[in-house]
Structure formats: structure tokens, C-alpha cells
Amino acid sequence: MYSNGTQHPTLYQAILLFSAHFSGMTAGKTRSDVNRRLSDLRPKLQHALMSGKFNDGHIIAVFLVAALYHYGGNLNATATHLHGLSLMLDYDRQRKIKHKHAPERSPVVSFVHRQCIRFFNQLSTVRQKLLQFQPTVCTKSWDVGWVPLVTEKVFVPTIEATYTFQDFQFAVLHIYHRAVSIRQSPSYVYTDESLISEQIARLTDQIKNFQAQLDFLARGPTFWQRTPLANDLDFFPGKDPPIVGLTEPFYGYLLLASYHLIISLTIILDLSIGPSSTERLEAASALCRHYAVLQVAPPECFDLPILTALFSAGITFSPLSHPYGSASNFQS
């Protein structure tokens, strides 16, 4: 509908490419003519990027090609196209500012921006090519005001929380790549670590503020009727404060994964495993306690981010880290 309304032939061609490929896969075809179609579309997109003569339709077309590679498993091509997409998004914003136009993006391009971050987060760090734009969460540039235009109002808080979490993931990865670049530089000096630690401390505080919001939402009204938790499960054994039953597991899982982000930041700061910082111990402890509550029968879901988060807790509490027993009261 968008491509027809704007009379954008390049975008229309990209939509046909995307839909035809997956229609073919759904129909049971083992091969498609995607490569032939791409050989015709790609030069048009490259010319638009190199010439600077592109608009929202070209941006969406590049996103569709990146998504095609992403869902098809060609992750190196995904990384390349996401980087190119970020160049287009950044150039488009700078161009609007230069010509004194409103820098706000259209809802569909704002959606593409967020999905670009989401796909980037799902790539392994060795494949990632840094995007041209910076994380915007907790800044004046952060804007998801367009979300109500593309979804039902009841889902707006969940979409906002999801995009916020993904942008925090993006910020953690951004710090990771920056730390690797600084530490591998021939001009590296130990005092450079202070810059890394300052950025990590600031981001950790921002994530903790976000966790406070998630903690409130996880105990708020539910989207649909759920069986209440048994009273004895509201209090997890141990010396830690009790975990009150989480009534809305969606926010509970985001809360759970957010502790993984903090653990990741502590590992960037100190690569050694074990209880190298209070932040890591507190996050790992909270992660395990929240997981115990969320996995009360029947569990809502069980996905890779949660397994990754529990792996981080294992790094903190592993027997190799504590060969002589518990090292802290946090492990009670």
C-alpha cells in the first residue's frame, strides 16, 4: 500500500522480491529466483546511496533486502546491508537538518530504524559492522511516539519496553566494540580504561532505572487472565528479599534479561569470571531468583536470551569461580 501510494517502483520491486521468495519457500520450493531478482535491484539501491538521491522508499527497500538475508541465514550479507542502511538513515537525518527540515522520521522509517537495531543485536559480535548512528535511549533523541500509529493502544507499553530494551542491548554492544578498539590500539595506555569505566557506570545506572519501571509493570495488570501463583512461591528461599509473584510475565522476561545486560557490562570492564564486582553478584542473584518465579508451571516461554542470561549467572556462580565454596552472601 505504501509503495503504491508513493508510486515508488524500486520499493515495489523490493516488496515483490521479498514476498515472492517467502511465498516460494512456503509452497515447498527448494530454490527461488531471489539471486536473479537481486542482481537487478541491488545496482539501483547502490546508485541511490552513492548519489544521495534517495527517499523513504529506498530506505525501506534496503531494509527489506537486509531482512531477506537475515531470515535466509546469510548473516555476513545481513551485516553489510544493515551498515548500509544505517548510513542511509544517518545521511537522511543530516540532510533534513541541513535544509532546515524537521528531523523527525516518518513512522515507517522509525520502525525500520528500530528493526535495524534489532537485527544488529542478533548478529554475533565477530560479524557485526558498527552502525552509523549512536544508541539514543535516555537521550533527547529517543522517540517512540510513533508507536501508537502502528499498533493497538493496549500493546503500546510493551512495544515501547521492547524497543527500550533493544536499544540498551545496542548500547552495551556499542561500548563493547569501543572497548575492543581502544584496547587493541597501538597508542593504548591504561588510563584509557577510565573512559570505558565511566561509560559503563553511566549505562549501568540507566539500565537500573529501566529495571525499576519493568519491575512495576511486571506486577501490574495482565493482558489476559492468568492463574495466580501459589503463596509459598512468592518467596524464594534464601537471605535475599522476597520476590513477589510476577503477574505479567512479558515484562518479567524483559526484567530478567536486563540483568544479563548488567552482567555483560561487568565482563567488558573485567574479563575474569567469578564475583569480580558487586554489580555482577547482585545482577546474577536477581536473575536466578526472577527466573525461579517465572518458570512456575506452566512457563510462559523459554528462549535463547533467557538461556544466555542464565549462562552469565553461571559465569558468576560457577564451581571454578568458587572452588572452596560460596564467596559471598549474595549466593545464599
Which among 133, 151, 173 is the end of a domain? 133
At residue 33, the pLDDT reads 65
Q: At what angle do helices 249-269 and 156-184 cross, to 10 degrees?
A: 10
Q: Are 125 and 177 in contact (CB under 8 A)?
A: yes
Whether 173 and 307 share a structural domain: yes
Q: Digits of tens for pLDDT over the chain (332 positions)?
A: 565 566 777 877 787 777 776 665 544 455 666 777 777 888 888 888 888 888 888 898 899 889 888 888 889 989 999 999 999 999 888 887 787 766 677 888 899 999 999 999 999 888 999 999 999 998 888 888 888 877 777 778 889 999 999 999 999 999 999 999 998 999 988 888 899 999 999 999 999 999 999 988 888 777 766 655 554 544 544 545 555 667 787 888 899 889 989 988 998 888 776 667 888 888 888 887 777 777 654 455 555 566 666 777 777 766 555 445 444 444 43
What do you get for the CA distance between the two ends of the chain, in Å? 57
* Residue 70 within any structural domain of the chain: yes
Whether 120 and 210 share a structural domain: no
* Residue 143 within any structural domain of the chain: no
At residue 329, the pLDDT reads 45
* Residue 140 within any structural domain of the chain: no
Whether the ω angle into residue 298 lies within 30 degrees of 0, i.e. cis, is: yes
Q: How far apart are CA 54 and CA 290, in angstroms?
A: 47
Output the nine-digit C-alpha cell for 156: 503500546
Whether 116 and 179 share a structural domain: no
Whether 247 and 108 share a structural domain: no
Output the nine-digit C-alpha cell for 217: 509493570
Q: How far apart are CA 208 and CA 212, in angstroms?
A: 6
Q: Are 262 and 204 in contact (CB under 8 A)?
A: yes
91: Cβ contacts below 8 Å, ≥ 6 apart: 52
Which among 111, 133, 155 is the end of a domain? 133
Quote the pTM value: 0.80
CA distances to 42, 73, 144 from 35, rounded to whole Å, are 10, 14, 35
185: exposed, middle or buried (C-beta count within 10 Å: 0-12, 13-18, 19+)?
exposed
* Residue 155 within any structural domain of the chain: no
Whether 171 and 110 share a structural domain: no
Instruction: Say how many domains are in the chain.
Output: 2
Please count the residues of the chain. 332
Whether 103 and 220 share a structural domain: no
Whether 220 and 331 share a structural domain: yes
At residue 157, the pLDDT reads 87
* Residue 149 within any structural domain of the chain: no
Own/partner contacts of 132-140, CB < 8 Å, gap of 24 or more, are 132/83, 132/86, 132/87, 132/89, 132/90, 133/86, 133/89, 133/90, 134/174, 135/167, 135/168, 135/170, 135/171, 135/174, 136/167, 137/164, 137/167, 137/168, 137/171, 137/206, 138/206, 138/209
Q: How far apart are CA 139 and CA 202, in angstroms?
A: 12
196: Cβ contacts below 8 Å, ≥ 6 apart: 175, 178, 179, 182, 268, 269
8 lies in which domain range? 1-133
Which among 133, 153, 185 is the end of a domain? 133
Q: How far apart are CA 88 and CA 96, in angstroms?
A: 12
Q: How far apart are CA 184 and CA 196, in angstroms?
A: 14
Residue 278, Cβ neighbours under 10 Å: how many? Answer: 11
Whether 286 and 189 share a structural domain: yes
Q: How far apart are CA 122 and CA 173, in angstroms?
A: 11
Whether 179 and 324 share a structural domain: yes
Q: At what angle do helices 9-26 and 56-72 cross, to 10 degrees?
A: 20
Whether 59 and 181 share a structural domain: no
* Residue 329 within any structural domain of the chain: yes
Q: How far apart are CA 313 and CA 285, in angstroms?
A: 8
Residue with cell 527497500: 61
Whether 110 and 228 share a structural domain: no
57: Cβ contacts below 8 Å, ≥ 6 apart: 2, 3, 6, 8, 10, 11
Q: How far apart are CA 270 and CA 254, in angstroms?
A: 25
* Residue 154 within any structural domain of the chain: no
Whether 89 and 215 share a structural domain: no
* Residue 144 within any structural domain of the chain: no
